[in-house]
Amino acid sequence: MENRSIDYKKLGLAIKCLRKKKEFKQDELAFKLNISVSALKHYELGRRKPPTECLFNMVPLFGLSSVEDLLNYFEDDKENGNNE
């Protein structure tokens, strides 16, 4: 990952949108990531920074190619003219 400022609220929203898109409940995703439901809620709300390892573990679960895809989730939608 390149060194840049990350908007954790936007990242949290991306995590939440992708979780719902893949039809995971919070407890299911938390189990797959080996984290608490509380931690996942904080990530989704942008209140806590997800560990890098957690971000890497989300990539295949969400069907993404890289962590950059996760970090750029909404930027890619805007470029493609999609609004979620």
Q: Which domains does the chain have, with CATH numbers?
A: 8-79 (1.10.260.40)
pTM, full prediction: 0.85
**Cα–Cα distances in angstroms (integers) from residue 76 to residues 9, 35, 43, 60, 73, in the given order:** 17, 28, 21, 18, 5
Question: How far is the C-alpha of 37 from the C-alpha of 61, rounded, in Å?
Answer: 16
pLDDT in tens, 58-82: 999 999 999 999 999 988 654 444 4
Residue range 8-18: mean pLDDT, rounded: 97
- Predicted confidence (pLDDT) at residue 84 exceeds the cutoff of 60: no
